[in-house]
Amino acid sequence: MFSFFKNWLNKEQGKTRSMEELKQEIQEDAAVDFAELSEQEAEVEAGEPVPVAEAGNQKVRTDLSLHPAWEQQLDNEKKYTLRFLQAQLPDVPAGSISVTGFSLIPNPEGLTVAMFVRNGLDQPVRFKDITLAIYLDDKPFARQRVDLSGMGSIPPRSSRPWEVFFPEGTYLHENFRFSRWKVMMKAQANPYVWPKHLDLDPQMEARMTERQKDRLELLSHSLPPIEADTVEATGFDIGWTKRGELVVAVLFRNGLPVDYRPGKLTITVSDTEGDVVATGIIDGSSIRVRPRTSRPWLFVFPENAVKKKNASLKRWMLEVT
């Protein structure tokens, strides 16, 4: 607890950083409509609501709310620092919950994120299990499910500072180069999912270069969300072998809450003219895509399954059924 204070005090050979310097560490506010959160993620507590925002005003101001343990252990100077930082935060959308990071502290075992958890409702809110993610330069870097029940009840229109530790096992990749970072909250009840966690087959990973892995990681991050409880297949690479075989690389994205294990798959590749280049029924029984993840797979059409051997593959289309 209070790792961010130690981090601030250790800057510049032990000199305490100025308020203006600390203000520079406040990151982008990320809001979620409270209606998107499930009962397992957060709940509204009974309490005296504060006056409703004036008509037409879609934003509300927040005040600092310290957990009782923080209130007891922090001295007045540290409380003033947190109160100052909270005052610099933008207004939050009415009816939303948001998180704003203000300190990112690496250590040998992982990363500690200090953030303000902000309640834009007119009732107290108590959090339970929430998915939090760290983004570096707008790309997801780490993600985990976090039990935030220890924060206690956050009063209406309040911001509560809290620390969350992300161990190395939550990292999606190992690239620490970044100029901006932010912490985001993911709502389970959202009807769309982003299966951006790349889950490589061990045998395929052993044959891939780091450049190929980076390209796949970028692809999984750039694709749009898919509807919950669906699976989507996206072709991302294609080429000919010296024997005239057609090799197609497909990224399966699983929005199901269970493993995706297809049986037989009918795969058709067409060119920009609409002509079928190759088609066939493929045995997909060895494919396993874990819930809410993406996994690439290679399919090889033998020469006798290729219907258009002179096809231009600068642009191509894939259909998987």
- Domain positions in the chain are 3-190, 197-320
Tell me what pLDDT residue 54 has: 45
- Give the model confidence (pLDDT) of 281-321 as tens digits: 988 888 999 888 889 999 999 999 999 988 888 889 999 98
- Give the model confidence (pLDDT) of 116-163 as tens digits: 999 999 999 999 998 888 888 877 788 888 999 999 999 999 999 999
CA 320 vs CA 116, 270, 285, 313: distances in Å:
44, 12, 15, 18
For residue 132, the cross-strand partners are 144, 185
Tell me what pLDDT residue 10 has: 60
In whole angstroms, give the CA distance from residue 164 to residue 86: 18
Amino acid at 258: V
Q: What kind and span of H or E run contains 234?
A: strand 231-240
Question: Which residues are CB-neighbours of 211 under 8 A, at least 6 positions away?
Answer: none
The answer on pLDDT for 55 being more than 50 is no
Phi, psi of 97 (to 5 degrees): -115, 135
Q: Are 238 and 246 in contact (CB under 8 A)?
A: yes
Residue ranges of the alpha helices (H) in 30-170? 68-73, 76-87
Tell me which of 29-38, 100-109, 122-131, 261-270 is least confident: 29-38
The whole-chain average pLDDT of the chain stands at: 84
Q: Among 2.40.128, 1.10.287, 2.60.40, 1.10.3210, name the CATH number for the domain at 197-320.
A: 2.60.40
Tell me which of 176-185, 253-262, 275-284 is least confident: 176-185
Question: Which residues are CB-neighbours of 118 under 8 A, at least 6 positions away?
Answer: 29, 62, 89, 92, 97, 98, 99, 100, 158, 159, 160
- Report strand pairing: 29-33 vs 129-136: unpaired
CA 132 vs CA 30, 89, 139, 165, 260: distances in Å:
11, 20, 14, 11, 24
Tokens representing 290 are 């874990």
The answer on pLDDT for 50 being more than 50 is no
